[in-house]
Amino acid sequence: MKILISFLIIFFSSSVFAKPKVLECKKNCGTSDTKGEFTFQARLSLGSEEWGGNITFIEDDIAISQAHVIGLNPEKKICCTPKQIKKASEDWKNFKNDMYVVEGNSYQGKQIIIGKVVDIAGRATGHPPGYDLLLLHIDRDCNKCQKNKDIKIEPIPLANKIPPIGTKAQHICIPGKKKYGKGIISIPHTLNGMIYGAKTTQCSRQIIKHDGIDNPPMLFDCSGSPVIYSECGKNVIHGLHGNGMDEDKIMYETLQLVQTQKQWVQSHIYEWTGRIDMLDACHPSGRRSFMPDQKFDIVQNDCKKKRINDEEFYPCEIINLDNAINFPWMD
């Protein structure tokens, strides 16, 4: 069985990972968001060095990302609760009082602070198909945010359903360096890979083969950034970049899907804000409750403090996978 590795060259705490030698984009990797379509995309800015990973606003005061962008090593820690995530995250330990959110198009230059992280929750249960999820509660009225309060952020909902194989999508990312793309960029994707999970995390991962044909060469330093598609005529988050493995000089992304996590997300929105609903692309009001007593479009996955075996492979049974691209050793 192949070993799954993190896409990140650097866990933002201090651990260094070698970048695999694969087909990758090295310059001008996407289209800059000059029209303000993707203002939901931002990056963290930690400490005096002002670095941090991609995060995505799903409410005015809530963002989603991946647990490893705040220094959580999936090889060492297994977490399901906020207490466990905070104890395991090196960056939360070091920067919990100095963890800010930067407007996406300003990250690569003079950073514009638009929020401060005041609380986090996460799910991290090992390499895929284990979880790699992070939720952030953000104060948009922080002291350093005052002069930037008029900057408008349009949050994006989480998807409700798993889209058919072959669905056209976009990857939205803020690269760390301008040579890869200035500010927030969009990159076309095709969702043609196998959707799978573990026995207890079904339909939670999708393969993206970055071969330069159906999907672009790999772009590094985009962990936590979303792949979005249209649901009910509106953009929604399908999954998050940040995990994968390489084979024959090609990177196989394993997107962390979000459709099975809506009850978990709602529970923390309720805990932090008292709200019992969240943004929804399909509801006539634009909002919908995902509290435990509600009906869901697909089964919601739980989290247990147990490492998921990365050899578990359960194809998603709720969509047709006949034409899905699989890992090469499984064809």
pLDDT for the residue numbered 15: 39
pTM above 0.85, yes or no: yes
Please answer whether residues 102 and 142 qualify as being in contact, where contact means their C-beta atoms are separated by less than 8 angstroms: no
* Burial (CB count within 10 angstroms: exposed 0-12, middle 13-18, buried 19+), residue 207: buried
- Express each pLDDT in 290-323 by its tens digit: 999 999 999 999 998 889 998 899 999 999 999 9
Please answer whether residues 42 and 152 qualify as being in contact, where contact means their C-beta atoms are separated by less than 8 angstroms: no
Query: Collapsing DSSP states into helix, strand and coil, what is residue 135?
Result: strand
User: Which uninterrupted H or E stretch holds 62?
Assistant: strand 62-65
- The residues that bridge with 57 in the sheet, in sequence order, are 63
Nearest to 25 by CA among 172, 215, 192: 215
Report the 10 Å Cβ neighbour count for 3: 7
Residue 167 has pLDDT above 50, yes or no: yes
pLDDT for the residue numbered 5: 38
Helix boundaries (H) for the chain? 82-88, 90-95, 262-273
- Express each pLDDT in 199-216 by its tens digit: 999 999 999 999 999 999
Section 78-92 average pLDDT: 95
Please answer whether residues 175 and 24 qualify as being in contact, where contact means their C-beta atoms are separated by less than 8 angstroms: no
Section 14-29 average pLDDT: 79
pLDDT confidence band for 6 (50 / 70 / 90):
very low
Domains and CATH numbers, the chain: 39-148 (2.40.10.10)
Section 247-276 average pLDDT: 97
Please answer whether residues 40 and 155 qualify as being in contact, where contact means their C-beta atoms are separated by less than 8 angstroms: yes
Query: Which residue carries 């895929």 as its tokens?
Result: 128
Section 16-41 average pLDDT: 91
Please answer whether residues 308 and 187 qualify as being in contact, where contact means their C-beta atoms are separated by less than 8 angstroms: no
Section 68-91 average pLDDT: 92
Nearest to 326 by CA among 222, 237, 209, 230: 209
Average pLDDT across the chain, whole number = 93
Count the alpha carbons within 13 Å of 288 in the hemisphere toward its beta carbon.
18
Nearest to 57 by CA among 232, 184, 160: 184
Burial 158-195, CB ≥16 within 10 A → b, else e:
bbbebbebeeebbbbbbbbeeebbbbbbbbebbbbbbb
